[in-house]
């Protein structure tokens, strides 16, 4: 993904490295980890950094860069998952790790995950992309080379502090109206390539309230910003709102799915993921988060709406 830099100022961009599959060669791809106040957490996920020259305003996607490693060793993961963040996915990947599968997850949003999967830069993409024409999730955006490995239903909504008199106690339609029109309410957004951002922009109907530029990459970060008073509202899944003791106004039931590529679904790490998604324990644990497990389609089955 492209990265903008401030002219006249030398910048250092932390990156995570993954091994990409190409038709003619293997290469390492550097995913930018972003900038800002989450630098300590970001540093823990970084493999190295790129020095952006002070005369450079834009590092374009696909451009070759020199990465300076933070360690003499570069452990590459068995399974690389890129896309939308979800607490259910966090749990699934943690269980794979306990079973000896080394995992790397990069939260770049649903669109970013889909593009990375198409380009051979990850093994699995996590996504929840809504198509208003068909009123379905994900399937209209998949090609014949992509296959749904499994997924679940979850609910997204507006999160807010329960002691905020501007939002607490109002019904759903009134809360939606107030977050659009009340200039005193500061929002926390999501990154531009995320499925949640699509939902937020539909809610706002073209408006850009205070806080629109604050764009963290995870549901946890949104809930934390609201709970700590750095924002008054945001959009996140119901479970993180309940975990933080926040108010929750449902917006939409949605489908979160893990998607793979037909050429790599038989890799041991992807097979391990598919097997774990089919376990009864997985369904029970996802139920604890308030999610409902969806069955995977047979590998190689045509995707409805694929193009």
Q: What are 288-307's pLDDT values in tens digits?
A: 999 998 765 554 444 554 44
- Identify the residue whose tokens are 């599968």: 101
Among the residues of the chain, which ranges form H helices?
Answer: 39-44, 87-98, 110-118, 172-181, 195-204, 219-227, 238-244, 268-277, 280-288
Domains along the chain?
A: 1-75 (2.40.340.10), 77-307 (3.40.190.290)
> pLDDT by residue (tens digit) across 207-249?
999 999 999 989 999 999 999 999 999 999 999 999 999 999 9
Residue partners of 259: CB distance under 8 A and separation at least 6? 114, 117, 124, 125, 126, 127, 138, 142, 146, 147, 148, 149
52: exposed, middle or buried (Cβ count in 10 Å: 0-12, 13-18, 19+):
buried
How high is the pLDDT of residue 93? 93
> pLDDT by residue (tens digit) across 171-209?
999 999 999 999 999 999 999 889 999 999 999 999 999
From 293, 288, 301, select the one nearest 243 (Cα to Cα): 288
Residue 172 CA to residue 265 CA, distance in Å, equals 42
Residue 112 CA to residue 107 CA, distance in Å, equals 9
How high is the pLDDT of residue 116? 87
Mean pLDDT of the chain, nearest integer: 84
């Amino acid at each position: 993904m492209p990265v903008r830099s401030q002219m006249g100022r030398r910048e250092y961009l932390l990156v995570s490295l993954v091994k990409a599959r190409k038709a003619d060669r293997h290469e390492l791809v550097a995913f930018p980890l972003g900038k800002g106040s989450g630098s300590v957490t970001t540093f823990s996920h970084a493999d190295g950094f790129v020095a952006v020259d002070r005369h450079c305003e834009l590092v374009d996607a696909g451009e070759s860069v020199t990465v300076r490693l933070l360690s003499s060793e570069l452990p590459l993961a068995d399974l690389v998952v890129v896309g939308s963040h979800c607490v259910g996915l966090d749990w699934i990947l943690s269980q794979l790790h306990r079973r000896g599968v080394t995992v790397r997850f990069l939260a770049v949003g649903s669109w970013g995950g889909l593009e990375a999967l198409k380009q051979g830069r990850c093994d699995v993409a996590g996504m929840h992309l809504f198509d208003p024409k068909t009123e379905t999730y994900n399937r209209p955006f998949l090609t014949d080379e992509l296959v749904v490995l499994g997924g679940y239903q979850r609910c997204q909504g507006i999160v807010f502090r329960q002691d905020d008199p501007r939002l607490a106690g109002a019904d759903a339609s009134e809360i939606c109206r107030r977050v659009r029109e009340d200039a005193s309410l500061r929002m926390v957004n999501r990154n531009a390539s995320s499925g949640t951002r699509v939902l937020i922009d539909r809610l706002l109907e073209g408006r850009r309230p205070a806080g629109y530029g604050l764009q963290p990459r995870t549901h946890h970060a949104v809930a934390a910003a609201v709970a700590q008073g750095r924002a008054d509202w945001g959009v996140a899944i119901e479970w993180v709102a309940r975990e933080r003791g926040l108010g929750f106004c449902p917006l939409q039931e949605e489908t979160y799915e893990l998607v793979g590529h037909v050429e790599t679904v038989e890799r041991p790490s992807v097979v391990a993921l598919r097997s774990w998604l089919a376990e009864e324990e997985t369904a029970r644990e996802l139920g604890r988060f308030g999610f409902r497990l969806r069955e995977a389609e047979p590998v190689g089955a045509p995707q409805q709406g694929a193009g």
